């Protein structure tokens, strides 16, 4: 059996990954991917950065999509395989839905029927995903987000905490939905929106958010 490694443990979100592992009866190891101090809980066994990844599966710990993509590339280069989905036992996933490798579902999430969650997606605490939803690779869904049926979310999109998307909307790749927004219409690739109803913003206003690894 492959050893699970939490890769990139300086993210504050690592504490939730560790709690999920604890509830699942998994004892993961950790590995730094940066010289910055780790925020991992005490008791997490740490791998030396010189150790090869062979025989180990990595799940990449970061909320910001671009950072998680960077970590996945580093882990692959070091010889790690991509870990199976890490799904908190308090979450509910429909049997007709598909969760790709590298994903993390935090506590209390719900995934409706016939949905597909792409590789390396993070769905944070108590998010609700409806039926026939497509979430593409490396997207991030914040805590308490509500996504109803037939929504499409593009690769590396970030949906901020507490946002609500209306049925059938499409969120383009690399788009950012600011926390607490209500999205009634499609959001184009790379666009940043905020408010109720959500309206476009200059992307520079969210640079500080996207530069902080592990933000929720």
Q: Would you please indicate which residues are annotated as catalytic (active-site) residues?
A: 131
CB 39 within 8 A of CB 16: no
Alpha carbons 21 and 15: distance in angstroms, whole number: 10
Q: Biggest alpha carbon distance in the chain?
A: 50
Residue in 151, 162, 148 with CA at minimum distance from that of residue 195: 162
Burial 96-124 (b: 16+ CB within 10 A, else e): ebebbebbbbbbbbbbbeebebbbbbbbb
């Amino acid at each position: 059996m492959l050893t699970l490694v939490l890769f990139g443990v300086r993210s504050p979100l690592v504490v939730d990954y560790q709690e999920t592992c604890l509830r699942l009866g998994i004892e993961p190891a950790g590995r730094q991917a940066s010289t910055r101090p780790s925020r991992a809980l005490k008791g997490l066994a740490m791998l030396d950065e010189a150790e090869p990844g062979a025989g180990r599966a990595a799940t990449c710990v970061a909320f910001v999509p671009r950072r998680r993509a960077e970590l996945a590339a580093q882990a692959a280069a070091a010889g790690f395989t991509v870990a199976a989905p890490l799904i908190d036992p308090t979450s509910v996933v429909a049997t007709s839905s598909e969760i790709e490798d590298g994903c993390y579902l935090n506590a209390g999430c719900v995934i409706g029927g016939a949905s597909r969650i792409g590789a390396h997606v993070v769905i944070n605490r108590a998010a609700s995903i409806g039926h026939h939803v497509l979430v593409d690779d490396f997207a991030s869904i914040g805590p308490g987000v509500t996504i109803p049926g037939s929504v499409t979310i593009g690769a590396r999109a970030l949906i901020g905490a507490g946002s609500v998307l209306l049925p059938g909307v499409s969120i383009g790749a690399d788009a950012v939905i600011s926390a607490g927004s209500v999205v009634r219409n499609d959001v184009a690739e790379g666009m940043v929106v905020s408010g109720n109803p959500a309206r476009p913003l200059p992307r520079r206003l969210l640079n500080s958010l996207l530069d902080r690894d592990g933000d929720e």
